[in-house]
Chain A
Amino acid sequence: MPKNPNIKKVLVIGSGPIVIGQAAEFDYAGTQACRSLKEEGIEVVLVNSNPATIMTDKDIADKVYIEPLTVKVLQQLIIEEKPDSVLPTLGGQAALNLAMELDESGFLKEQNVRLIGTTSLTIKKAEDRDEFKKTMEKINEPCAPSKVVTTVEEGVEFAKEIGYPVVLRPAYTLGGSGGGIAYNVGQLMDILANGLRLSRVGQVLVERCIAGWKEIEYEVMRDGAGNCITVCNMENIDPVGVHTGDSIVVAPSQTLGDKEYQMLRSSALNIINELKITGGCNVQYALKPDSFEYCVIEVNPRVSRSSALASKATGYPIAKVAAKIALGYTLDEIKNAITGKTYASFEPALDYCVVKIPRLPFDKFIMAKRTLTTQMKATGEVMSICTNFEGALMKAIRSLEQHVDSLMSYEFGHLTDEELMQVLHRVDDRRIFVIAEAIRRGISQDTINFITKIDLWFIDKIAILVEMEQALQKEEMTPELLAEAKRLEFPDYIIAQLSGRKEAEVKAMRIENGITAAFKMVDTCAAEFAASTPYYYSCFGSECEVEKTEGKKKVLVLGSGPIRIGQGIEFDYCSVHSTWAFKKQGYETIIVNNNPETVSTDFDIADKLYFEPLTPEDVENIVNLEKPDGAVVQFGGQTAIKLTESLMKMGVPILGTSAENVDAAEDRELFDQILEQCCIPRPAGRTVYTAEEAKAAAAELGYPVLVRPSYVLGGQGMQIAICDEEIDEFIGIINQIAQEHPILVDKYLVGKEIEVDAVCDGEDILIPGIMEHIERAGVHSGDSISVYPAQSLNKKVIRVLEEYTRKLAKSLHVIGLINIQFIVADDEVYVIEVNPRSSRTVPYISKVTGIPIVELATRVIIGETIRGMGYTPGLQPEADYIAIKMPVFSFEKLRGADISLGPEMKSTGEVLGIAKTFNEALYKAFLGAGINLPKYKNMIITVKDADKLEAVEVAKRFEKIGYRIYATRSTAKVLNEHGVHAVRTNKITQESPNIMDLILGHEIDLVIDTPTQGRDKNRDGFLIRRNAIETGVNCLTSLDTANALATSLENQEGKNLTLIDIATI
């Protein structure tokens, strides 16, 4: 079936900000799809509120709207742009839900716009619990006994009937929000009440618990003619009970015989046919380990995180093919871009093993519960490829960058055997390490299997790794043993540790015996056909099949690894743009990365893709083979920066800012010297190593002080201390993060925080714009609302900022990008941080100013000059628009995490509000971040004493908008004294009705709660904030944010928005 000629202009809906459960995979899918549509001559209109994405670049779509993803905005956009079709299946659950609302309201029909890629009927059949169950019954596909309930009572009744435990799944939520397993009626009532509230349609499925069964997924494609294929199947090592996004996953399935494999494959095709899906689809199964009994757990009628993983695991470009199918093509008409010979209508055959491990945020949220459940908690993931499972697991573990490079890394040694057995029952992110320890202790594999329900095959593989640890400790080191250890992907330094050698000795012995890494190709077809796409992974004991390339200059671009808080999708944006810029300049580009969700690991971004861990040893293997002319580290975040020194030792020139200068920015003493030379003030500070020294420094500087480890990202471990006790506490925490670097103690200045990104060619600088944070200093820049252009600075201050930036860039000999954070207090400018690399604000500033910062930085790195590229050095003229970057958090997914903002970053993503006026931009930003107010016009204010007077002003503004204000005793007293009509409410500890009842009563729009300084010791405040978040109530912990929200509400209520196509900027 050829392309449908009636499709000429398509609106693609993106997935919005990165949140837990909906991450970079949709940037990858959306980007691939948009490019695929453009390839077909389709005019593509894109809408996505997330500015850090590649898909929102003007070279990806014809028209790009970075606007809030709401029904109203989409309606306006459709009326203005008049697309003939809407493609909603590539923007995750967010896009699908929006499309459903547009369709159900009759709006699409009214506007004569069709949904392509799926129909609303299909979405309904797959997503609506009741419809889904009926559909499965009709085609004889088994589901676990279940019932859709709309009230808690109904749920309790049904659970009584089928018996506990039961699984609860709210309809239409992403990442399983609000779901969970209930083992008794109390838990059921809790989870169910929450789930009913979170579900868009107020439905929750109560289901027989099939925890402990094997969890298997199939990625299926179907075209409009009814042709179906499966791209890949995957087996979760963690049995049913852990969300697949939080599970360790292996592809293809390892413990299924052909009978089981085909049974489930046929079922998946049966389902996709019945649902009449046109495009990609993901089907999840529970398979009973001791029979052929299975249940369909879930169907996602769209491209998903699993499809991104399946695409990278097999080389099959699911999103690209899905987009072509949406246009009307059939699978046998679409070429397999990897082989260039075969067609999309075939099933990839793998000749390797793929392991995915989730990246969980518990290093950031040390208070959060680590337990893994059916609600996803991971912020990102890594993938690794090897010819054996053990090797793939080892490579994935070290790709996580969590100071864990083997199975020995968590210390469970102090536990008794009994305690260890207890820990084995815990389902959390450390489980494989506990299993390894249990094997070391001689606990039988059967016992481990009985407790964890993890298949014996996987447990035995862990045992093989443990046996190798022991062999390396005890046996004589022979070339055979070393070769086997490398086949299992033990890093050299771990082999060295275990065998009591030096790393260099191990390496020398390897080289002497020819034990070196070989690279194999991912080709979708197990070598059956010659492939033309150079996508490689390493293994040992094999022939290397990388084709030598010569002629062009080669550049190695180091990616940023898994998405984590503090290092998100923006660094992938930078890596990809840099790669494209190098390509344009005639370079051969090589990307190394291990994140399956990203655009950078798509097979056609760089000339060569190495899907590898980003450790010195792994990178060296690539360097030895490719002998690049240089490497760029400034675009891949801290992950890439960390590799600088090792790359230099390998003899690879670092392109752009040199390693010494990167060091100079991070090293307190060197940096202080530079500041002194430049006459730039910074808050007074000291470098210390112990708590005693820190306290002495604090006494000298005067509290409050900022305490942080050097060499961190996202402000990890950074705290504001107001007394000696807090210093003791914080330094204790810092030391837990295994820091070899010194600790910095700075005077904490209250002032405006300003951020500048600049390109420097060694001589001149180019500043695309100056950004100002809404929240005063002390809130991490990634968690602050950031405004471009800065609104409250006078000309003199701006000149000083420009001057300081120039001086710093020159003194640090920056070639490429530099990011500087300043504090402006009483018109005095202080420098607080300098990062000689790309930053999280680069994508948004590029988009709003129209200046391609990464491309310019890349060209500068190659040797061009700012003037030579046609730019006038210095601060560029302000753009015609105000752009406001608003952080987005995922607190509702992380039980126990404190939401209060501070120097440590907590947000997972961001949205942009862009408009001609500040107020509209602010309103759009809040709207995009999901703060869609007012609703009930009730709010709660409870602030710490120091903030009480300031809170009066905030309260007055909200009162004027029409808000009824509730406040706890002391806050209410102050408010009332100052003329605000605050209703006093009881504290949590007091009798009902108290503040908690108010929150749970579902009629509160907003809670403003400013926590006491430092780590939260105020149990009440913590409970209020957690409950607000878990009840879906907006909760602000900074009065600056509250003021900004008031501004937005005062000005925008009821007004129409002006939508802006950023491709015209």
Chain B
Amino acid sequence: MKAFLILEDGHVFTGTSIGADREVISEIVFNTSMTGYLEILTDPSYAGQAVVMTYPLIGNYGICYEDMESLKPWPDGYIVRELSRLPSNFRSEDSIQHFLEKHNIPGIAGIDTRALTKILREKGTMNGMITTNANYNIEEILPRLKSYTTGKVVEKVTCADKETLSGEGYKVALMDFGAKRNIARCLNERGCEVTIYPARTKAEQIIADAPDGIMLSNGPGDPKECREIIDEIKKLYQSDIPIFAICLGHQLMALANGADTHKMKYGHRGANHPVKDLDSGRVYISSQNHGYVVDAGAMDPNVAVPAFVNVNDGTNEGLKYIGKNIFTVQFHPEASPGPQDSNTLFDRFISMMEVAKNA
């Protein structure tokens, strides 16, 4: 069946329908990772977005359920050049076609994803519609596309209830703004007892549970939409409990401390972004997925200073809070998908907790 991708700027791509046969409007973003399509599909940070994979051959190694980063796929739509007919991997349990259908995610295949990516690069991230209706009326659709906003998505993706992964080591409170499963796994592997809290949890409750450290997770959407959460984070900041934050968590901590964030032209989504550790001068290749970024320049240097910077475009990739046991990064040390180079940051968080405990 034919499918169409209609962009806010009037571009229309014609391809083949994949996944669910339903119409969807979403924000179109591209990801340049060459592997890890399942991890990307199940990353809650993609809620409210439709993802274009720039790598043209998707589904080659099928679906390995244990690689899912959350319980289900989150994107509103999935856009690829070609889906593999035969998934081939010893762990594969399903095909991507079936997986998308099962989770009711519509998509389009067989389009020139590079041409689409170039449009998004030149004009910036924009909204679009995936439809199988060949008789679409573009005049009617374009205003709808323009007015579409992602809205508050954190509440859609956060867990409903508190959950604990047992461990003998430090007690970590993980604020779930749409956390990838590997964050908890990285901590748990290091012996931590990880308690995952829904995003709406009050700071008082977390502090009352007396964790050794607090982990603020990644998540979807515009950080400024998360006003209530920012208020709670202000309180966590005051608590003196060591805090490590990733992606949305990093942005929220910055907003809680008077910094500003802004939407990037087309964001960073991929597994090849170089970030420089300003302390050591070392460069790490990182996994990234963000459309917003912290304006580090607007941050009071007495509150926090940049800890990491993106080598390509100089945007902020991490902050170190002065006089605080708080350390935040924009990229994803938990990888999945992507390079594991910065995985040692979890060890750094463990040391932060150790230092605080021994203090």
A332 interfacial contact with B, CB 8 Å? yes
Among the 9-residue stretches B160-168, B279-287, B293-301, the one with 4 or more Cβ atoms under 8 Å from chain A is B279-287
Give the chain A neighbours of B57 by CB distance below 8 A: 254, 353, 388-389
A255-B88, A457-B86 known; A265+B339 contact, CB < 8 A: yes
**Which of A223-231, A635-643, A1052-1060 is the interface stretch?**
A223-231
* CA distance in complex: A903, B88 (Å): 50
Which residues of B are found within 8 Å of A290, using beta-carbon distances? 90
Q: Find chain B residues with CB under 8 A from A289 CB.
A: 90
Taken together as a complex, chains A and B put the C-alpha atoms of A342 and B311 apart, in Å, by 8
| Complex Cα–Cα for A455 and B90 (A) | 11
Instruction: Give every chain B residue within 8 A of A257 (Cβ-Cβ).
Output: 35-36, 38, 61, 64, 67, 89, 91
> From residue A488, how far is it (CB to closest CB) to chain B in Å?
11
Tell which of B32, B273, B282, B338 has the most Cβ of chain A within 10 Å.
B32
Q: Assess the A225–B32 pair: CB atoms within 8 A.
A: no
One digit per residue, 1 when the CB lies within 8 angstroms of any chain B CB and 0 when it does not, for chain A 258-286 equals 11011001100100000000000000000
Q: How far is the CB of B333 from chain A (nearest CB, A)?
A: 13
Contacting pair A464 B32 (CB below 8 A): no
* 1/0 contact string of B26-39 vs chain A (CB within 8 Å): 00001011111011
The docked-state distance in angstroms from the alpha carbon of A353 to that of B341 is 26
Closest A-chain residue to B91, C-beta based?
A: A257
Give the distance in Å from the alpha carbon of A534 to the alpha carbon of B144 in the complex: 38
B291 on interface, CB distance cutoff 8 Å: no
A529 to B265, CA, bound (A): 12
Partner of A456, one of B55, B88, B271, B340: B88
Known: A256-B35, A527-B117, A528-B121. A226 touches B282 (CB 8 A): yes
Is A341 in contact with chain B by the CB < 8 A criterion? Answer: yes
Considering the complex, which residues of chain B in the window 247-261 have a beta carbon less than 8 Å from any beta carbon of chain A?
Answer: none
Return the chain B residue nearest A350 by Cβ.
Answer: B34
Shortest CB distance B273–A (Å): 7
On whether A258 and B340 interact (CB within 8 A), knowing A226-B282, A345-B274, A389-B57, the answer reads: no
Do B274 and A541 touch across chains, with their CB atoms under 8 A apart?
no
Q: Does A726 contact B (CB under 8 A)?
A: no
When distances are taken between beta carbons in the complex, the residues of chain B under 8 Å from A226 are 282
Residues of chain A lying within 8 A (CB to CB) of residue B60:
254-255, 457
**Which of B107-115, B221-229, B315-323 is the contact stretch?**
B107-115
Partner of A269, one of B34, B38, B39, B341: B341
A541, B271: Cα distance in complex, Å: 27
Docked Cα-Cα span, A529 to B283, in Å, equals: 20
Kindly state the separation between the CA atoms of A527 and B151 in the bound complex, as whole angstroms. 28
Question: Are B32's CB and A525's CB within 8 A?
Answer: yes
Q: Shortest beta-carbon distance, B188 to chain A, in Å?
A: 17
Considering only CB atoms, which chain A residue lies closest to B60 in the complex? Answer: A254
Mostly helix, strand, loop or mixed at chain A's interface?
A: loop
Q: Given A257-B64, A289-B90, A526-B55: A349 and B283 within 8 A (CB)?
A: no
Asked if A62 is an interface residue, CB under 8 A from chain B, the answer is: no
Asked whether, in the complex, the Cβ of B39 is within 8 Å of the Cβ of A258, the reply is: yes
Closest A residue, CB atoms, query B36: A258
Is the pair B54, A388 in contact by a Cβ cutoff of 8 Å? no
B112 and A543 within 8 A (CB): yes
Determine the distance from Cα of A121 to Cα of B337 in the docked complex, in whole angstroms. 35
Q: Which residues of B contact A347 (CB under 8 A)?
A: 271-272, 285, 339
For B212, the chain A residues whose CB sits under 8 A away are: none
Interface residues as binary, A373-391 with B (CB distance below 8 Å gives 1, 0 otherwise)? 0000000000000011100
Q: What residues of B have a CB within 8 angstroms of the CB of A389 in the complex?
A: 57
In the complex, whether A291 has a CB less than 8 A from a CB of chain B is yes
User: Which residues of B in the span 80-99 have a Cβ within 8 Å of any Cβ on A?
Assistant: 81-82, 84-86, 88-91
A527 CA / B32 CA spacing, docked (Å):
9
Please report the C-alpha to C-alpha distance between residue A545 and residue B117 in the assembled complex, in whole angstroms: 12
| Distance between Cα atoms of A358 and B311 in the complex (Å) | 37
Inter-subunit contact A346/B55 (CB<8 Å):
no
The reply to whether A349 and B270 form a contact with Cβ atoms under 8 Å apart is: yes
Which of A230, A262, A330, A351 interacts with B54 by CB under 8 Å?
A351
Which label, helix, strand, loop or mixed, suits the secondary structure of the B interface? loop
Query: Does A348 make an interface contact (CB < 8 A)?
Result: yes
A 314-356 binary contact with B (CB < 8 Å = 1; else 0): 0000000000000000111000000001110111111111000
Contacts of A520 in B (CB 8 A): 114
A30 contacts partner chain B, Cβ-Cβ < 8 Å: no
Which residues 193-210 in A have Cβ within 8 Å of B in the complex? none
Distance between Cα atoms of A526 and B113 in the complex (Å):
10
Q: Which residues of B have CB within 8 Å of A225?
A: 281-282
Q: Which B228-267 residues sit within 8 Å CB-CB of chain A?
A: none
Whether A562 sits at the interface, judged by CB under 8 Å, is: no
Whether a CB of chain A sits under 8 angstroms from the CB of B131 is no
Question: What residues of chain B lie closer than 8 Å to A345, measured between beta carbons?
Answer: 274, 283, 285, 311
Asked whether B56 lies within 8 Å of A351 as measured between CB atoms, the reply is: yes
Q: Mark A533-569, 1 if CB is under 8 A from B, else 0.
A: 0000000011101000000000000000000000000
A301 CB within 8 Å of chain B: no
Closest residue of chain B to A352, judged by CB?
Answer: B56
Interface residues of A in 903-936 (CB under 8 A from B): none
Interface residue ranges of B37-78 to A (CB < 8 Å)? 38-39, 54-57, 60-61, 64, 67
Closest CB in chain A relative to B212 CB, distance in Å = 28
**In whole angstroms, what is the CA distance A707 to B276 when docked?**
67
Does the CB pair B88–A455 fall under 8 Å? yes
Q: Verify B64–A351 contact, CB threshold 8 A.
A: no
Contact A526:B117 (CB < 8 A) given known A289-B90, A332-B274: yes
Contact A291 B32 (CB under 8 A): no
Are B311 and A527 in contact, with the CB atoms below 8 A? no
Is there contact, CB below 8 Å, between B274 and A351? no
Q: Which residue of A lies closest to B13 (CB)?
A: A543
The reply on A880 being an interface residue by CB < 8 A is: no
Q: Does A81 contact B (CB under 8 A)?
A: no
Chain A positions within 8 Å of B81 at CB level: 387-388
Chain B interface (Cβ < 8 Å from any Cβ of A): 30, 32-36, 38-39, 54-57, 60-61, 64, 67, 81-82, 84-86, 88-91, 110, 112-115, 117-118, 121, 270-274, 276, 281-283, 285, 311-312, 335-341
Closest A-B pairs by Cβ, 6 of them: A258-B36, A457-B88, A347-B272, A258-B337, A526-B54, A460-B86
Q: What are 14 A-B interface contacts by the 8 Å CB criterion?
A: A225-B281, A258-B33, A258-B36, A258-B39, A266-B339, A266-B341, A331-B283, A332-B276, A332-B311, A342-B312, A347-B285, A350-B34, A460-B88, A526-B117
**Which residues of A are at the interface with B, using a C-beta cutoff of 8 A?**
225-230, 252-259, 261-262, 265-266, 269, 289-291, 330-332, 341-343, 345-353, 387-389, 455-457, 460, 464, 520, 525-530, 541-543, 545
Supplied contacts A253-B35, A331-B283, A541-B112, 6 more A-B pairs, CB within 8 Å: A229-B274, A258-B35, A262-B35, A346-B312, A351-B113, A388-B56
